[in-house]
Amino acid sequence: MQHVVGIDVGTSGVKAIVVNETGSVLGEATTPLTLSTPKPGWAEQNPDDWWKAACQAVGKAIKAAGIPANSISAVGLSGQMHSSVFLDAQGAVVRPALLWCDGRTTAQCEQITKEVGAKGLRKWACNPALEGFTLPKVLWLKQHEPAAFRKVSKVVLAKDYIRFKLTGTLATEPSDASATLMFDTVKQRWSSDILKAVGLKESLTVDLVGSAENSGAVTAQAAKLTGLPVGIAVAGGGADNACGAIGVGAVSAGEAVASWGTSGTVVAPTSKPVVDPGLRAHTFCHAVPNTWYVMGVMLSAGGAFGWFRDNCAKDLAGSKDPNVALNDEAAKVAVGAEGLTFLPYLQGERTPHRDAAARGAFVGISMAHTRAHMSRAVLEGITFGLRDSVSILAGMKLPLNRILLTGGGAKSPFLRQLQADVYGLPVVRVNREEGPAFGAALLGAVCAGIFKDVPSACKTTLKRLAPEKPNMKTHKAFAAPYERYTSLYPALRGRF
């Protein structure tokens, strides 16, 4: 039997899984990563830490699977979007990567909007200039660290750095490229118009391959470090949100998936590039041919919950699962947390506010409130943030009859019901919980010829569980707390 490996370069860790031809996950491992925040709103990681973590995770996953390495036919890659890796002519990292949640580039976004024009950005990139995207980071480096910029030969994304270390190939694919702001999302090619307007050379970009196409072979050196066989194919792969959608079977128009990772997203595939009139949501290429998706993004979802857990629940650090303990606390508190509201804008926000300066807040706290109320408010605030995106996609007339779930929000019965009640829509899980790593593995399986295409891979390996329906009485009860939540950002914006 053939096997494939899926690798996902996340913000909090690198995950690797080993999958067989039926979609069973035989082994998995995650190597944690740390996040560097040199200044408020900044976020960096060392790309070589990703590589070391990938080597460890792949080796452990293969060992856990208990299979001979020579049965592995291909590798699929997924990773955090936008995060910018700067390489010199010899392929060495010039400086730490600027991550998707880094908000230092407001001035560069204003520059891009002026030089490319709002109409040009809508026409070519299908997105506004936002701090998280790659292009503003390149310009920041050029302007603030010119000596480092002069060394830069290529700019790649997180998963593509792992590809380079595995194969020696510098390449990317449309789903990640379309999130750089340097790409023509409609024509699916690098945008010479945008690059020329901001004074950058197209030589900074790398070759494009299909997400399920062979982008290169594992080298002898990489095989030695990872335990993978020499010469097997590495598929083009996809951005984490595209692979997360594949991992639950959201590969065609009419589907929508909500994901809780460090960030939170709501993704709806489309058969053509549809753009939000208010540019609150993003339009990117899917990791499926001739398919795009519209996505709402909140920068801190699981990240906000993790911040609260690590700073406000240190007494639970020794417990078996502090996340479960906090969920249990929150479940005992009534809808609306007795007037307590949490804004999850710890790293700024993207949808719907597009404000890198936005910050988190507890509002309405009183002597009567306990940590349980705060736990409830944090989880409600995250879910309200995702509801903002659900509402925008629904307003664009995208069909949202149910929401597929992946990530941390899919694992807890309490969080699943909370989402159903807040959205007012049924939520659905699938029989796989590996998220983007599983989607990456399916792209590897298509590359290896195990499946003819991605929809076939999803149909063979994924099974949807019974929908979990909203309690419409509870949904109505959330109307006032949600209205309170949406009123707070405009009221506090001038204070951030």
Residues marked as catalytic: 240
Residue 482, both tokens: 């949600």
- Cβ(8)–Cβ(29) under 8 Å? no
- Cβ(258)–Cβ(23) under 8 Å? no
455 to each of 52, 156, 300, 441, how far by Cα in Å?
A: 33, 28, 31, 13
- Cβ(14)–Cβ(61) under 8 Å? no
CA distance 481 to 313: 24
Number of neighbours of residue 258 by Cβ within 10 angstroms: 28
Residue type, 483: E
Q: Is the peptide bond before 352 cis (omega within 30 degrees of 0)?
A: yes
Helices (H) and strands (E) in the chain, counts: 18, 23
Number of neighbours of residue 210 by Cβ within 10 angstroms: 17
Please tell me whether residue 99 adopts helix, strand or coil conformation. coil
CA distance 190 to 174: 9
